[in-house]
Amino acid sequence: MAPPPLTPADLVFCPAPFGHVPLLDRLAPAAAAGFSAIALQPSDVWTAEAMGRSAAELAARIADAGLTVAEIDCTACWMERQKTGDDSELGKLLRGLTPDKVVATAARIGARSVAAIDLSPTPAPLDEAAEAFAALCDLAAEHGLRAHIEFLPVGGIRNLSEAWAIVREAGRPNGGLTIDAWHFFRSGSTLEELAALPPEHIHAVQLCDAPAEPQADLWAELMSARLLPGEGALDVVGLVRTLDRMGSRAPFGIEVFNSRQQDQTIAQVAQDWAEAGREILERARGNP
């Protein structure tokens, strides 16, 4: 039996800050905190498989915990220009996140979609990016999956406008966007721009917060100083309200990179994330 669809009432536990915690050790804390789903990194699955656990076993354990897999985050080598780069640890990691590997992983673990990022230092020409994204979408569609671009102000696809231009030019019905609150506001994207988009192309949302003034080093803030939703000065409530008014059906992921979490258990972090996420949704929707 297929899992029930995720809705804007559901919270998704995002994986990136917890790559050091084995996948199966995240399930009970996420479920206890009230998350409906988890997102996974490809390496979460690959590491467990290398230790002798099959994808079918992993999927069954996730389902037994009352969770579903929202997405695999992410493929980072889906354009030709991303296949070359420096030989740093990060560069090698990104080049290994190819569409064939990531989509196949998403399919066998039962995810709903795959995310795509671009950490190139300069933007790709629109036609090149759109052609590559269309190919990713087509590969994902073979497995009944969706694909969505997550733009980053520190990457090659820097804001909502650039990401939507690629999705629009690719012209694939399963292609869409990830709306991450930090990336959205720090990139200068606006709620008015967002409200003008077709809601069916919003595939994933990630909530967090930040101070009003950005740090001089955006990459450092991105990776270590994001705040819980409602803890900073970003218009996270306005973001939720805009998505609701548009008719977006995407669930709300919580993704907070903050160095203070290094001293907290994953159970405490999951509880903090879920409480902050629920409070923001309640404020946005006028619930007491």
Listed by start position, the domains of the chain span 11-283
DSSP 222-275: HHHB-B-TTSSSS-HHHHHHHHHHHT----EEE---BGGGGGS-HHHHHHHHHH
The per-residue b/e assignment along 110-144, b for 16 or more CB within 10 angstroms, e otherwise, is: bbbbbbbbbebeeebeeeebbbbbbbbbebbbeee
What proportion of the chain, given as a percentage, has pLDDT over 70?
A: 98
Output the pLDDT for position 269: 96
CA distance 72 to 61: 17
Residue among 267, 255, 265, 268 nearest 14 (CA)? 255
Torsion of CA 164, 71, 281, 245, to 10 degrees: 40
11-283 CATH: 3.20.20.150
**Band of the pLDDT at 2, cuts 50, 70, 90?**
low
pTM of the predicted structure, to 2 decimals: 0.96
pLDDT digits 0-9 by tens, 154-201: 999 999 999 999 999 999 999 999 999 999 999 999 999 999 999 999
**Is the pLDDT confidence value at 86 over 90?**
no
For 22, the 3-state DSSP assignment is: coil
**Is the pLDDT confidence value at 4 over 80?**
no
CA distance 36 to 258: 23
**Band of the pLDDT at 16, cuts 50, 70, 90?**
confident
Residue among 44, 37, 32, 45 nearest 9 (CA)? 37
For 116, the 3-state DSSP assignment is: strand
For the chain, the residue count is 288
Output the pLDDT for position 159: 98
Residues 6 or more apart whose Cβ sits within 8 Å of residue 223? 257
DSSP 42-107: HHHHHHHHHTT--HHHHHHHHHHTT-EEEEEEEE---SGGGG----SHHHHHHHT--HHHHHHHHH
**Is the pLDDT confidence value at 55 over 90?**
yes
CA distance 70 to 5: 10
pLDDT digits 0-9 by tens, 232-278: 999 999 999 999 999 999 999 999 999 999 899 999 999 999 999 99
What proportion of the chain, given as a percentage, has pLDDT over 90?
A: 92
Torsion of CA 91, 52, 16, 207, to 10 degrees: 140
Output the pLDDT for position 19: 86
Output the pLDDT for position 3: 64
